[in-house]
Structure 1
Amino acid sequence: MVDFMLSELGTNNIQAITTEVEGESSQISQKYTMEKVEQIADGNNMVCHKVNYPYAVHYCHVGGRTKTFMVSMIGVDGTKVKALSVCHQDTSFWTPKGLPFVVLNVKPGTTPICHFLLNDQIVIFPSKEATN
């Protein structure tokens, strides 16, 4: 997995980060207030999704040209979350009937598509030192 990441991102100077949840939420679904949004990466990244398997297995893929943000939020029950959000900059090659376009009522290639990542998913990107 590490060799695949390094070869796809073209550097061995990488950062890996995930969504962080502070404490146990008393609610499965709740409203959150965004407190701070910080861009942490701009460019190619790789996302690894946990696969339901008896031991640690992840499905990793290149996210393409993206902007990655860390979003600090607080839930109505006081749960604090530092959530990763990935914004795909080029969606021109995505299927027009895909869920993001239906829900947002936009066409591929017209606007970035952003989404949050769960705390069992990992984003890997070249570190700032590697891109300078």
Structure 2
Amino acid sequence: MVDFMLSELGTNNIKAITTEVEGESSQIFQRYTMEKVEEIADGNNMVCHKINYPYAVHYCHVGGRTKTFMVSMIGVDGTKVKALSVCHQDTSFWNPKGLPFVVLNVKPGTTPICHFLLNDQIVIFPSKKATN
């Protein structure tokens, strides 16, 4: 997995981050207030999704040109979250009947598509200090 990441990202100077939840929420769904949005990466990244398996297995893929943000939020019950959000910059090759385009009523390639990542998913990207 590490060799795949390094070869796909073209550097051995990488960062790996995930969504962080402080404490346990008393509610499954709740409203959150965004307190801070910080851009942490701009460029190619890799996302690893946890696969339901008896031991740790992840499906990793290159996300293409993205902007990655860390969004600090607080829930109505006081739960604090630092949530990863990935914004795909080039969606021109995506299926126009895909859910993001239907829900947002936009066409592929016209606007970035952003989404939050769960705390069992990992984003890997070149460090800002990366050298090839």
Pick the TM interval, shorter chain. over 0.9
Kept in 1: contact 2:65–2:90 (CA 8 A): yes
Give the structure-2-normalised TM-score.
Answer: 0.99
Name segments (4+ residues, structure 1) moved above 2 Å.
none
Query: 1:42-88, CA deviations, whole angstroms, 9 ceiling, x for partnerless residues?
Result: 00000000000000000000000000000000000000000000000
Percent of residue pairs bearing the same amino acid type: 95
Equivalent residue for 1:41? 41
Deviation at 1:131, TM superposition (A): 5.9
Compared CA separation, residues 131 and 71, structure 1 to 2 (3 A)? farther
Cα drift, residue 3 of structure 1? 0.4
Ranges in structure 1 where 5+ consecutive residues have no aligned partner: none
Corresponding pairs, count:
132
Q: Distance in 1 between matches of 2:23 and 2:61?
A: 30
Q: Name 1:54's counterpart in structure 2.
A: 54
Deviations 1:24-51 (A, max 9, x none): 0000000000000000000000000000
* CA displacement at 1:111 relative to structure 2: 0.1
* Deviation of 1:8 (Å): 0.2
User: How far, CA to CA, are the matches of 2:91 and 2:131 in structure 1?
Assistant: 24
Distance (Å, rounded) in 2 between the aligned partners of 1:99 and 1:42: 24
Change (3 A) 1:35 1:57: same
- Distance in 2 (CA, whole Å) between partners of 1:69 and 1:97 is 26
Change in Cα spacing, 1:44 to 1:78, as seen in structure 2 (3 Å) is: same
- Say if 2:11 and 2:131, in contact at 8 Å, map to a contact too: no
For residue 122 of structure 1, report the CA deviation from its aligned partner.
Answer: 0.1
